[in-house]
Amino acid sequence: MFSVTRKQSAPIDGQKPGTSGLRKKVKVFMQPHYLQNFVQSTFNALTTEKLRGATLVVSGDGRYYSKDAIQIIIKMAAANGVRRIWVGQNGLLSTPAVSAVIRERVGVDGSKASGAFILTASHNPGGPHEDFGIKYNMENGGPAPEGITDKIYENTKAINEYLIAEDLPDVDITATGVTSFGGPDGKFDVEVFDSASDYVKLMKSIFDFESIRKLLSSPNFSFCYDALHGVGGAYAKPIFVEKLGAKESSLLNCTPKEDFGGGHPDPNLTYAKELVARMGLGKSDSQGEPPEFGAAADGDADRNMVLGKRFFVTPSDSVAIIAANAIESIPYFSSGLKGVARSMPTSAAVDVVAKHLNLKFFEVPTGWKFFGNLMDAGLCSICGEESFGTGSDHIREKDGIWAVLAWLSIIAYKNKENLSGGKLVTVEDIVRNHWATYGRHYYTRYDYENVDAGAAKELMAYLVKLQSSLPEVNKIVKGISSDVSNVASADEFEYKDPVDGSISKHQGIRYLFEDGSRLVFRLSGTGSEGATIRLYIEQYEKDSSKTGRESHEALAPLVDVALKLSKMQEFTGRSEPTVIT
Ligand code: VG1
Ligand code: CO
């Protein structure tokens, strides 16, 4: 029988959860009591009634330190009166799979889970010198709301002890099955289960796998998926190869690795180099004809990048196109959409679709937690973020593989007549047709990573102050470029949740132009060092004869205005962003 030890501890600075949990360098997490303090603070935020007897999931993207963290959390859960811990085999579960497991999975003894610790720093690199992360998800399968994360943070500032079953042996998480222990409060079980099967089952219930299978086996079509050595690889093979008949050779980097092969598991044109080259979008030409469709995922497989042959689909367009085509292409949505939503910095492409289709529409702050309330209240079916996040109310996280299956469904539907020989309706055709109908939102994001935190704050404070005088702003803007319209309004985005009335302030500074163009500035909440400034630039073009321009050309005047108006170089000392997406 294991016993419970009360370990003395003391607060450690800086444990405030960001946009998506607590993310720090591995060596920070490995300090004595660091992880333990955060886990105990989370338990305390959940209250004993909710914790005692509960079933909790613990798993993640498999990054370095996950295995140790899982054993620590198991021992702390046992000591805190948790009844069961569920672990994906080898500690692997993608973020969307965790959400699905909380919502759908039934344990071998009929139990259901009420929450999860997800161990991931998502698209941040992994390894001994890189990042680790942890976040807590609730009963609905979604990230803890701000009410809970604020409580967790308060607890980390006051903690003086944590509970741990030090004498509980490490559990073998490499093999599926249940290990039972006896403790002071009775039985404690650890159930290790297959990482993919619940998620695969859910995907099968949403999409028409038969039509996607036909598309993937058509001589007219070719496919490629890059998991960037993240946990997406654990799902890609069972879904794309085993269920849908894709060739194994169409999977790139699909073996999950603790350090993501030394790369940056971020699915964008900068970091998904191999896929980008294969799709004919690289600097040097790829060998042979690129595939018709390519996609990549981030470390925890909640993000996605969708590419056509020599063609990039912006994430903001992707969610709009999925929303516009979901009802006819995806069985799960055949009876209609409840509504659509996007995060504030995401382009307004989906807004236009909502208007055309007469759908409810919501604009929420950055971070997936804000979509969950809308979905729980039956107000939203499909949502997305400009940061390569797309998803629906099938779970309460963004879902990279879901997005790929949604695109494959749309392509299959548009090509149902010509799979055996006619001319394929390509990804590029689908996007260009969308622009012809709805107009195009030219869009780009500039990230300035690891900027001095003080300088970043000053830049934001400057922009807040500037926006209080529109005539002044317009004078400056006109002095920079005569090619942009007037700024009609500017504000700091604030959100009142329509379901629970909670208010989130300081969610980014917006400059809204008369012609619908927007500049948005925000500070990232997911970095682990310094500050990251994000600048989002958007311009709407309704005239279908003008939707075919190169994005960087179309946006050049606005970019110029954004950089000069914000005095970006003056404040940050940077003449170039770190990454452009
Ligand atoms: C970033 C993105 C945001 C996303 C968040 C978590 O946050 O901008 O859209 O929801 O990452 O995604 P921030 O605060 O750094 O801008 V993930 O895949 O990192 O969990
Ligand atoms: Co992620």
What residues have their beta carbon closer than 5 A to ion ligand 2?
122, 298, 300, 302-303
Q: In Å, how far are 111, 423, 441 from 186, measured between CA atoms?
A: 16, 65, 59
pLDDT digits (tens, 9 = 90+) for 465-520: 888 888 888 888 888 888 889 889 988 999 999 998 889 888 899 999 998 899 99
| Ligand in closest contact with the CA of 388 | 1
Q: What is the pLDDT of residue 282?
A: 79
| Closest to 42 (Cα-Cα) out of 141, 182, 153, 157 | 153
> Is the pLDDT score of 32 beyond 90?
yes
Cα separation of 503 and 496, whole Å?
Answer: 4
CA 367 to chain centre: 8
Cα separation of 46 and 117, whole Å?
Answer: 13
**Token pair belonging to 84:** 């069961």
Residue 55's contacts (CB-CB under 8 Å, 6 or more residues apart) are 82, 83, 84, 85, 86, 107, 111, 112, 113, 114
**Ligand 2 centroid distance, CA of 316 (Å):** 17
The preferred substitution site among 387, 398, 506 for testing ligand 1, maximizing ligand atoms within 8 Å of CB, is: 387
410 with 487, same domain: the answer is no
Q: In Å, how far are 52, 77, 89, 166 from 3, measured between CA atoms?
A: 16, 12, 26, 7
Greatest alpha-carbon pair distance for the chain in Å reads 76
**Token pair belonging to 319:** 């969610």
**Ligand 2 centroid distance, CA of 301 (Å):** 6
| Ligand in closest contact with the CA of 346 | 1
411 with 478, same domain: the answer is no
137 with 73, same domain: the answer is yes
154 with 224, same domain: the answer is no
Pocket of ligand 1, beta carbon within 6 A: 19-20, 122-123, 298, 302-303, 343, 366-368, 385, 387, 389, 524-526, 534
55 with 65, same domain: the answer is yes
Specify the DSSP class assigned to residue 399: -
Can you say whether residue 377 is alpha, beta or left, with left for phi > 0 and alpha for psi between -120 and 50 degrees? alpha
Query: From the alpha carbon of 123, which atom of ligand 1 is closest?
Result: 19
The residue from 170, 194, 218 where one domain ends is 194
Place of tokens 């935020």: 45
Indicate which residue's Cα is closest to atom 16 of ligand 1. Answer: 524
Place of tokens 């003395």: 8
* Extended strands (E) in 18-119: 22-25, 55-60, 84-88, 115-119
pLDDT digits (tens, 9 = 90+) for 213-253: 999 999 889 999 999 999 999 999 999 999 999 999 999 99
Query: From the alpha carbon of 343, which atom of ligand 1 is closest?
Result: 9
151 with 261, same domain: the answer is no
Q: What is the pLDDT of residue 475?
A: 87
Cα separation of 140 and 371, whole Å?
Answer: 12
CB 121 within 8 A of CB 63: yes
354 with 501, same domain: the answer is no
168 with 219, same domain: the answer is no
ipTM over 0.90: yes
**Ligand 1 centroid distance, CA of 303 (Å):** 9
> Is the pLDDT score of 193 beyond 70?
yes
Indicate which residue's Cα is closest to atom 17 of ligand 1. Answer: 122
Cα separation of 366 and 346, whole Å?
Answer: 9
Query: From the alpha carbon of 19, which atom of ligand 1 is closest?
Result: 14
pTM across the whole model: 0.93
Residues designated catalytic: 122
Place of tokens 């139990």: 111
**What type of residue is 136?**
Y
Handedness of CA 317, 323, 329, 332 (dihedral sign): positive
pLDDT digits (tens, 9 = 90+) for 354-367: 999 999 999 999 98
> Is the pLDDT score of 286 beyond 60?
no
Mean pLDDT for all residues in the chain: 93
Indicate which residue's Cα is closest to atom 4 of ligand 1. Answer: 367
The residue from 402, 419, 438 where one domain ends is 438
Q: In Å, how far are 318, 438, 463 from 434, measured between CA atoms?
A: 10, 6, 35
* Extended strands (E) in 270-339: 293-297, 304-308, 311-312
| Closest to 407 (Cα-Cα) out of 340, 338, 320 | 320
Specify the DSSP class assigned to residue 285: P
Q: What is the pLDDT of residue 233?
A: 96
Say how many domains are in the chain.
Answer: 3
**Ligand 2 centroid distance, CA of 1 (Å):** 39
Residue 294's contacts (CB-CB under 8 Å, 6 or more residues apart) are 223, 224, 225, 226, 275, 278, 279, 306, 307, 308
Cα torsion through 328, 330, 333, 337, rounded to 10: -60
Query: From the alpha carbon of 300, which atom of ligand 1 is closest?
Result: 18
| Closest to 321 (Cα-Cα) out of 329, 311, 309 | 329
Query: From the alpha carbon of 120, which atom of ligand 1 is closest?
Result: 20
**Dihedrals phi, psi of 179, to nearest 5 degrees:** -115, 125
Q: What is the pLDDT of residue 535?
A: 96
**Ligand 1 centroid distance, CA of 72 (Å):** 27
**Ligand 1 centroid distance, CA of 122 (Å):** 9
Q: What is the pLDDT of residue 529?
A: 74
Place of tokens 């992707």: 318
249 with 306, same domain: the answer is yes
Query: From the alpha carbon of 387, which atom of ligand 1 is closest?
Result: 9
Indicate which residue's Cα is closest to atom 13 of ligand 1. Answer: 524
| Closest to 297 (Cα-Cα) out of 252, 340, 332 | 252
Domain range for residue 183?
5-194
CB 418 within 8 A of CB 424: yes
Cα separation of 80 and 74, whole Å?
Answer: 10
The residue from 169, 194, 219 where one domain ends is 194
pLDDT digits (tens, 9 = 90+) for 252-263: 999 999 999 999
Indicate which residue's Cα is closest to atom 6 of ligand 1. Answer: 20
Q: At what angle do helices 427-438 and 400-414 cross, to 10 degrees?
A: 90
Indicate which residue's Cα is closest to atom 8 of ligand 1. Answer: 387
Cα separation of 191 and 201, whole Å?
Answer: 19
Q: At what angle do helices 95-104 and 400-414 cross, to 10 degrees?
A: 90
Q: What is the pLDDT of residue 48?
A: 83
The preferred substitution site among 16, 20, 509 for testing ligand 1, maximizing ligand atoms within 8 Å of CB, is: 20
Cα separation of 338 and 393, whole Å?
Answer: 10
The CATH number that applies at residue 208 is 3.40.120.10
190 with 43, same domain: the answer is yes
> Is the pLDDT score of 297 beyond 60?
yes
252 with 308, same domain: the answer is yes
| Closest to 253 (Cα-Cα) out of 318, 205, 299, 305 | 299
185 with 231, same domain: the answer is no
> Is the pLDDT score of 33 beyond 60?
yes
**Ligand 2 centroid distance, CA of 303 (Å):** 5
Cα separation of 67 and 49, whole Å?
Answer: 28
pLDDT digits (tens, 9 = 90+) for 525-580: 776 678 999 999 999 988 888 888 888 888 999 998 899 988 899 888 888 999 88
| Ligand in closest contact with the CA of 20 | 1
The preferred substitution site among 346, 369, 526 for testing ligand 1, maximizing ligand atoms within 8 Å of CB, is: 526
**Ligand 2 centroid distance, CA of 260 (Å):** 13
> Is the pLDDT score of 284 beyond 70?
no
CB 337 within 8 A of CB 376: no
**What type of residue is 571?**
F
Cα separation of 189 and 441, whole Å?
Answer: 52
| Ligand in closest contact with the CA of 370 | 1
